Amino acid sequence: MTAYVIGRAQALAAPTEWGGRTWDQDGDRVRFEGHIWSTDSAAARVLRQQLLGHEGEVVPVTSVDDPTVDGFYRVLSSKVGSSARSPNMFPVSVDLERVMAYSSPQFESVLVGNTLTNALGITGKPFWSVPNAAPLTFTDPEFGYTRSVEHPAGQNTTVLMEFFTTFTVNPRWRPLPSQYYIGACLVEQEVSSGVWVPVTGLQQHQASGGLGGIRINNGLVRCRIASDGSDLALSVDHWKASSQSWNNKQYKVVSVTGGGFTVPVPVAVTIIRNDPEVVVVRSSHRITDDPSIDLYLSVRRGDRWVRGEVGGKDSWAWAVKRSTAEAATSITGGLRATSDDAGGNRYMLASATATTKDTTNGQIALPSAAATLAFGIGSEIGGSTAAAPDQATGTRNMIEQYFAAQAEYMSAIGV
């Protein structure tokens, strides 16, 4: 029952539901009370995690009971108790506060950044994305830049992709509650085979075996921290709108120093940042020679790149490669598959660091040992017939997008 949706927190499907719910309002302050009930205690616990994780955030709230309350609220506190009567029941008390112009407030993104430092002569192409359906509340001359617009389509979404000529801009938009999460980044956890649920906030229990189930997703690309035997496998899907399907490729992170090693499956996964505009997760690995290997993975709203960084206690000649050999062609800033794959796409790897490229197998590697390797995993959707902004080279291409190092922080700013 989706009687109330508070941010990402909504009852999965019957038999999970909100019971005994009340909505008490005093001016802009609201106390929502009720209980989560389910025949499946795991499903009820998912809802508990989602409610608790939103504390402190501004989230959209919608109600089937009373649509006049639909809007954006700051979650002041979120309490989920337990019941002696049933392990499947959690009493809930959530304090909310309406933000100014709650039904459609303005959000502002503070964007700062620069071209990733590189010796390749590449200039980054800064961009910003929101759902295509939401109204923007700024004009070009206001910020003194010219823009160009693309509309990449993801799963269940079309996002607006604004390309700017400058990195430091503060664009604004005014979404409806139903639009806020379209194309937004999220961290997902697999609760049962093939069933993925959003994880809110940063506090997350380890899934069975320390992984199995963490994925970052923005509707255009998603990356799962997966395994291939005892090796870590990054399972990356890119959405192809023309076929309405996810296109999967797997990658491994290795060191090519001496005998080399492959980064094994992680011991633990930690959520570092979990906002609609950016999510970052960290997986922690250990091998005998280096007990502290960290791999950071992030996606940004509207981005088709999974951006990663791997490092350890010691220096290694880090590399990222396709799990199974697939021939590639070197391009400035990375490499791209030589031929279209079965889905009609060509995978891409990028790095701002000068790398040694293995075009036979599809690998970029540091030429010598260093503390870290920052890399991108992308895809030229449409392959040899790709157009902007999907293409690997040419106007507003994927490499230029990767080389735009942008920090984005979004907040509600009222009317």
Contacts to another protein by CB under 8 A: 110, 112-114, 116-117, 167-168, 272-273, 278, 280-282, 292, 294, 296-298, 307, 309, 311-313, 371-372, 374, 405-407, 409, 411
Q: Considering beta carbons, is residue 115 or 361 the nearer one to another protein?
A: 115
Q: Considering beta carbons, is residue 158 or 284 the nearer one to another protein?
A: 284
Q: Considering beta carbons, is residue 81 or 291 the nearer one to another protein?
A: 291
In whole angstroms, the minimum distance from the beta carbon of 9 to another protein comes to 21
Q: Are 125 and 404 in contact (CB under 8 A)?
A: yes
Q: Considering beta carbons, is residue 238 or 307 the nearer one to another protein?
A: 307
Helices (H) and strands (E) in the chain, counts: 3, 31
Burial of 322 (0-12, 13-18, 19+ CB in 10 A): buried
In whole angstroms, the minimum distance from the beta carbon of 307 to another protein comes to 8
Q: Are 376 and 334 in contact (CB under 8 A)?
A: yes
Q: Which sign does the torsion angle of CA 261, 265, 267, 268 carry? A: positive
In whole angstroms, the minimum distance from the beta carbon of 172 to another protein comes to 14
Enumerate residues 6+ apart whose C-beta is below 8 A from 318: 253, 254, 255, 310, 311, 365, 366, 370, 372, 373
In whole angstroms, the minimum distance from the beta carbon of 309 to another protein comes to 6
In whole angstroms, the minimum distance from the beta carbon of 86 to another protein comes to 36
Q: Considering beta carbons, is residue 272 or 388 the nearer one to another protein?
A: 272
In whole angstroms, the minimum distance from the beta carbon of 297 to another protein comes to 7
Q: Are 90 and 160 in contact (CB under 8 A)?
A: no
Instruction: Label the pairing between strands 148-150 and 157-163.
Output: antiparallel
Burial of 297 (0-12, 13-18, 19+ CB in 10 A): buried
